[in-house]
Amino acid sequence: MKVLCVLTNNFEEIEAIGTFAILRRGGVDIDIVSLHDNEITGKYGLTIKIKQTIDEIDHHQYDALFIAGGSQYIELEHNEKFKHIIRHCIRNNKIIGAICAGPTILGHMGLLKDKNYTCFNSMNENFGGTFIDKYAVRDSNLITGKSAAATIDFAFLLLEALTSKENAENTKERIYYYHN
């Protein structure tokens, strides 16, 4: 299983890095690529170096797409190559995970119509689906998360969709997710 995550400046650090870490702990191969720069800075100042940009990869080699939130969603939403990747995932029944502001991109593209989803409350518009006020929601191959605070629940639901419930549960145990 190979996941693509495209980031640009002003990505939400907790959502991007937290989900990346949970997926890797669960044995999922995830690549972070940049929209256009080899160095990007998150919403709260974390700067990371990226090996490849969206123009340097073959998006057909990925089984799933992960869209982190943050105000980066505006730039992602206006990038035709990124939207092409989303449409490719939908056409090919690939898994898409989107958290916080990320589902808004899907909603504006008409891809939340008749779907159960969640997103950052103030970004919920009439997307033609059913908004569920939970941390993480799965509707077939679509996994959505509410906010930065929902990152761990979202990441585990995405991991379960990508691998198995057993793997997600084992990974939770390894990080003491259920520990009191």
Domain ranges of the chain: 2-174
- Cα 7 to the chain's mean position, in Å? 10
Q: For position 180, what pLDDT does the model report? A: 58
CATH class of 2-174: alpha beta
Q: For position 37, what pLDDT does the model report? A: 87
Cα separation, 4 vs 26, in Å, equals 16
Letter for the amino acid at 74? I
Cα separation, 56 vs 53, in Å, equals 5
Cα separation, 75 vs 8, in Å, equals 8
pLDDT 10s per residue in the chain (180 long)? 999 999 999 999 999 999 999 999 999 999 999 999 899 999 999 999 999 999 999 999 999 999 999 999 999 999 999 999 999 999 999 999 999 999 999 999 999 999 999 999 999 999 999 999 999 999 999 999 999 999 999 999 999 999 999 999 999 999 999 765
